[in-house]
């Protein structure tokens, strides 16, 4: 029986998919693994993830300037919806990543120094160059705002009374560069610090509920993959021949898919791209090596007291390896043409610069001693480069 089926399949194969002439069976399998984005997974460490009311409240927080010193910043200042939840600014240490598809990530920030979306959020709220706010101020806002207080309490129960400035001074946070806020924090009792930390973490969970919903729109590439799966001629013509050749380079000779894998084009891991030295922006000294130390030390980690599912062992297994000091998280490539400049340093202004670098690796840093480098020159032809760029367009445009 099986033999007959195989025979019929072989006979029918020219009709099953017109793409068989371009791609091998192995390549078709890889291409199918790149689309569509699955349903948004729920984060077990955040018990309100996916809750409609929490998503709405999170959106209000995301756009509210009052979570910053002098009401100077909202998250939306840097992560603008109209700019695919990023924007280009010169005053940040590193490029601002898009917030598309955060729910599919395992690690957050370029160096992965957070292991949940809600704990990530607490970073920019207190960071000196971002919101420059503090956790006692966040706690007080939840206690004093007539709209936020009842909304918060629906999820997490009563907000403690944070109005006594002797017990809960403002600003107060553990900080190495804000002396006053750090002194205030150290003056508080352990019990009061815990009350503040708990509300702070919960506020992060509300922000995260909204951010987890931000998924990149469907692209012409997704239509094309539907075409392969359904053998639908119209859908198969959603992308150009040049883009199809570029896709072949992406999953073949270029080996882009080894790191930019799956529907979100990321393996959720960290790699040393051996980028040429670039001084205009500071970058992240220590990269993943420092990120690992920070996530292990954080009381807001997925294993910590504020996690709603603190059983995960992922941090115990984590240890710093040689070369980690240069490793950066693989970012998504969805809507990549719309979000220049490129790399965490922003050192490439155009996508052609990125592709040229991957091809020739001009100026690349020498590999770390004793480790065989993951990134080696791909030596693309001029045509392959052009095709690859055409492919990157198809994962950046709506049908
Ligand atoms: C001043 C600009 C600025 C503001 C304001 C800002 N961010 Fe960011 N955001 C950045 C930069 C820069 C990074 C990358 C930092 C890094 O990785 O070290 C980032 C990273 C992130 C990430 C991680 C993305 C990834 O790929 O891992 C998330 C999530 C995020 N921000 C959410 C927020 C939220 C929520 C707020 C508001 C509370 C906010 N940001 C406010 C600039 C900003
Ligand atoms: C060894 C893993 C690896 C391989 C292979 C790889 N990439 Fe990347 N890619 C990364 C990492 C990690 C970054 C982020 C580096 C940084 O910001 O310093 C990145 C960044 C990028 C960016 C910029 C993203 C942004 O948001 O700025 C583009 C575009 C890109 N890669 C395309 C490709 C293409 C095309 C190929 C195949 C020719 C490829 N990559 C191969 C890991 C990889």
Instruction: For tokens 């950046």, name the residue.
Output: 396
What share of the chain has pLDDT > 70, as a percent?
Answer: 95
Distance separating alpha carbons of residues 379 and 30, to the nearest angstrom: 22
Cβ(284) – ligand 1 distance below 6 Å: yes
d(CA 330, ligand 2 centre) in Å: 6
Distance separating alpha carbons of residues 221 and 78, to the nearest angstrom: 28
Cβ(336) – ligand 2 distance below 6 Å: yes
CA dihedral of residues 325, 326, 330, 335 (deg, nearest 10): 130
Classify 64 in phi/psi space as left (phi over 0), alpha (psi -120 to 50) or beta: beta
Q: Please report which confidence band the pLDDT of residue 6 belongs to, taking 50, 70 and 90 as the band edges.
A: low
Position 278 scores a pLDDT of 85
| Per-residue tokens: 19 | 């793409």
Confidence check: pLDDT of 9 > 70? no
| Per-residue tokens: 60 | 């209000």
What share of the chain has pLDDT > 90, as a percent?
Answer: 89
Residues with Cβ within 8 Å of residue 23, at least 6 apart in sequence? 31, 248
Residue nearest to atom 1 of ligand 1 (CA): 130
Q: Please report which confidence band the pLDDT of residue 3 belongs to, taking 50, 70 and 90 as the band edges.
A: low
Evaluated on CA atoms 289, 294, 296, 297, the torsion sign reads positive
Residues with Cβ within 8 Å of residue 111, at least 6 apart in sequence? 270, 284, 286, 287, 288, 290, 291, 294, 328, 329
Residues with Cβ within 8 Å of residue 149, at least 6 apart in sequence? 142, 143, 159
Distance separating alpha carbons of residues 396 and 384, to the nearest angstrom: 19
What is the CB neighbour count within 10 angstroms for residue 218?
A: 14
Position 13 scores a pLDDT of 52
| 95-130 per-position pLDDT tens digit | 999 999 999 999 999 999 999 999 999 999 999 989
Distances (CA, A) of 312 to 292, 303, 315: 16, 6, 8
Cβ(73) – ligand 1 distance below 6 Å: yes
| Mean pLDDT taken over the chain | 94
| Residue 95 Cα: closest atom of ligand 2 | 27
Residue nearest to atom 11 of ligand 1 (CA): 96
| 271-301 per-position pLDDT tens digit | 999 999 887 667 999 999 999 999 999 999 9
| Residue 346 Cα: closest atom of ligand 2 | 27
| Residue 374 Cα: closest atom of ligand 2 | 1
Position 249 scores a pLDDT of 98
| Residue 92 Cα: closest atom of ligand 1 | 12
CB 266 within 8 A of CB 369: no
CB 138 within 8 A of CB 145: no
Cβ(121) – ligand 1 distance below 6 Å: yes
- Find the length of the chain: 399
Q: Which of 330, 351, 356, 386 to mutate to test the pocket of ligand 2 (most atoms within 8 A of CB)?
A: 330
d(CA 109, ligand 2 centre) in Å: 15
Distances (CA, A) of 321 to 111, 251, 284: 14, 28, 17
Position 312 scores a pLDDT of 73
Cβ(328) – ligand 1 distance below 6 Å: no
Cβ(78) – ligand 1 distance below 6 Å: yes
Nearest ligand to the CA of 80 is 1
- By C-alpha distance, which of 264, 260, 287, 297 is closest to 115? 297
Classify 363 in phi/psi space as left (phi over 0), alpha (psi -120 to 50) or beta: left
Q: Which of 272, 354, 388 to mutate to test the pocket of ligand 2 (most atoms within 8 A of CB)?
A: 354
Angle at 256 between CA 251 and CA 259, to 5 degrees: 115
Instruction: For tokens 């040049």, name the residue.
Output: 242
Nearest ligand to the CA of 265 is 2
More confident residue, 314 or 197: 197
| 361-391 per-position pLDDT tens digit | 999 999 999 999 999 999 999 999 999 999 9
Peptide bond into 171 cis (omega under 30): yes
Position 279 scores a pLDDT of 75
Distance separating alpha carbons of residues 236 and 224, to the nearest angstrom: 5
Cβ(107) – ligand 1 distance below 6 Å: no
CB 256 within 8 A of CB 77: no
Peptide bond into 220 cis (omega under 30): no
Report, as an integer, the average pLDDT of 315-329: 94
Evaluated on CA atoms 303, 304, 305, 307, the torsion sign reads negative
- By C-alpha distance, which of 365, 331, 332 is closest to 110? 331
| Per-residue tokens: 298 | 């954080």
Residue nearest to atom 12 of ligand 1 (CA): 96
């Amino acid at each position: 029986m099986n033999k007959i089926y195989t025979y019929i399949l072989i006979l029918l194969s020219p009709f099953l998919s017109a793409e068989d002439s371009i791609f091998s069976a192995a390549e078709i399998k890889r291409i199918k693994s790149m689309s569509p984005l699955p349903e948004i997974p729920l984060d077990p460490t955040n018990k309100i993830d996916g809750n409609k009311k929490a998503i709405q409240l999170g959106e209000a927080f995301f756009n509210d300037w009052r979570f910053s010193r002098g009401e100077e910043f909202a998250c939306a200042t840097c992560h603008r919806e109209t700019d695919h939840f990023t924007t280009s600014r010169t005053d940040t240490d590193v490029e601002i990543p898009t917030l598309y598809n955060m729910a599919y990530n395992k690690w957050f920030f370029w160096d992965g120094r957070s292991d949940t979306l809600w704990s990530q959020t607490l970073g920019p709220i207190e960071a000196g160059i971002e919101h420059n706010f503090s956790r006692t101020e966040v706690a007080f806002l939840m206690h004093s705002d007539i709209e936020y207080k009842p909304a918060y309490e629906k999820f997490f129960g009563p907000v403690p009374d944070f109005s006594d400035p002797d017990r809960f001074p403002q600003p107060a946070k553990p900080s190495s560069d804000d002396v006053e806020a750090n002194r205030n924090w150290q003056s508080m009792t352990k019990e009061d610090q815990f009350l503040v930390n708990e509300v702070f973490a919960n506020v992060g969970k509300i922000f995260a509920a909204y951010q987890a919903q931000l998924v990149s729109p469907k692209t012409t590439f997704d239509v094309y993959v539907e075409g392969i799966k359904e053998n639908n001629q119209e859908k198969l013509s959603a992308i150009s021949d040049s883009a199809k050749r570029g896709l072949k380079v992406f999953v073949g000779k270029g080996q882009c898919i080894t790191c930019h894998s799956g529907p979100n084009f990321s393996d959720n891991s960290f790699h040393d791209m051996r980028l040429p030295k670039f001084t205009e922006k500071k970058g992240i000294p220590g990269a993943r090596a420092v990120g690992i130390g920070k996530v292990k030390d954080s009381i807001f980690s997925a294993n910590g007291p504020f996690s709603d599912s603190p059983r995960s062992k992922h941090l115990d297994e984590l240890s710093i390896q040689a070369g980690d000091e240069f490793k950066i998280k693989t970012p998504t490539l969805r809507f990549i043409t719309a979000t220049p400049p490129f790399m965490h340093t922003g050192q490439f202004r155009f996508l052609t610069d990125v592709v040229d670098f991957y091809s020739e690796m001009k100026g690349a840093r020498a590999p770390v001693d004793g480790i065989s480098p993951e990134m080696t020159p791909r030596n693309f032809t001029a045509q392959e480069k052009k095709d690859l760029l055409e492919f990157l367009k198809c994962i950046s445009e709506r049908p």
